[in-house]
Homo-oligomer: A and B are copies of this chain.
Amino acid sequence: MTTIKEIARLAGVSAATVSNVLNGKPGAASPEKRNEILGLAKKLNYTVNVFARRLQKGKSNTIGIITEDLTVFNTPDIVDGIYEYCSEKGYEAILENMRLYKKFGSNFIDSPAHHGLIGKTVKNLLEKQVEGIVYVGYHCHDISYIPRSLPVPFVYAYCYSGNRLLPSVLMDDRKAGYDVTALLIQQNHRNIGVICGPLSSYSTQQRLAGYREALLNHNIQYNDKNVVFGDWEKGSGYELAPVLLKSGVTAVFAFNDLMAGGVVDWCRDHGFRPGVDVSIFGFDNREVSRFYNPQISTVEIPLLGIGRRAIEIVLDTGASGENGTIMLPCMVHERASSKR
């Protein structure tokens, strides 16, 4: 690797002059010298060593991203949003992928081992002089990890610190639950079934709260027979569909697209026409929802926005909303599985 020194030697000037010329300082050298230096740099394929530069400048212009698992479906878009904002602001991003899901499955979350791993990862990032960190969860869960005496801003994205000690950016699950329910009510459904995820899930709780709120606001009696709990997998949608449909619901709101797909299947296997006899809603706007037949109505999570907002807070140390938690609105997509 060619260095400034070498160019200086060949051009017969000092390293300082080369540095100045290469950095475009006006009047750093005579036109001839300037050209000579530039020519040498090109010929020798000179590349600055950004780390030497940063060391000297005392500023890294870099932030760190920690992902729980890059291969879980929502993560890349969040990361993408972070990168997007960074490049707009002239920042670099370093990505640390913990590969949690692949390595440990779901039970690992918020365990001491998990906290330990985060600590190690944070330290690693800190050694690289990052000026802030965004932590990207692979689903919305509570995470009580608090880095001890963190010298840089730290924001959770797509997960949250239940103890509210660190800012988080999430989608507004409650509002989404409300919106879908209100939409179905507006379409004259009075008996709306819900297939939740496990009750322990934050998203389940929030969406369910939104559902109840919408019923209340429209003077519809809440009926707990209409609320059942699945496990986010397609199979549970298939199994729970009859429970709801036999008790007379005219619409089913499943809390993810996979379970909604299960409902669609059950309907078709048993003579109910999705989108005609029964309206079906999913959640997540996964690829499968648009691909399915019929296409499944769903709710899009503002992933890019979550990423952008999180890094925005980190960099601008900006307004962090009430309780340090920011909720971004989701977008409802009506498709054939629910259109009337």
Contact = CB atoms under 8 A, between A and B. Distances in A.
Interface of A: 1, 45, 47-52, 54-55, 60, 70-71, 73, 75-77, 79-80, 83-84, 93-95, 97, 99, 102, 123, 126-129, 149, 151, 234, 258, 261, 265, 268, 286-288, 291-293
A94 B94 contact: yes
A306 B79 CA distance: 22
Nearest to A60: B51
A95 B129 CA distance: 17
A52 B49 contact: no
B55 A234 contact: no
Nearest to A234: B291
B83 A99 contact: yes
A256 to B, nearest CB: 12
Nearest to A67: B76
B102 A80 contact: yes
8 contacts: A1-B151, A47-B127, A48-B127, A51-B129, A70-B79, A79-B97, A287-B287, A288-B288
Contacts of A73: 287
A80 B138 CA distance: 15
B76 A128 contact: no
Nearest to A286: B287
Given A47-B126, A51-B54, A291 B84 contact: no
Contact of A71 (B76, B93, B99, B126): B76
Contact of A127 (B50, B77, B99, B287): B50
Nearest to A150: B45
A266 to B, nearest CB: 10
A265 B75 CA distance: 30
A166 to B, nearest CB: 18
Given A47-B126, A49-B129, A286-B287, 15 more contacts: A1-B129, A1-B151, A48-B127, A49-B127, A50-B127, A51-B54, A51-B55, A51-B129, A70-B80, A71-B77, A71-B80, A73-B287, A84-B99, A291-B292, A292-B292
A336 to B, nearest CB: 12
Contacts of A151: 1, 45
Nearest to A49: B129
Contacts of A291: 234, 258, 261, 288, 292
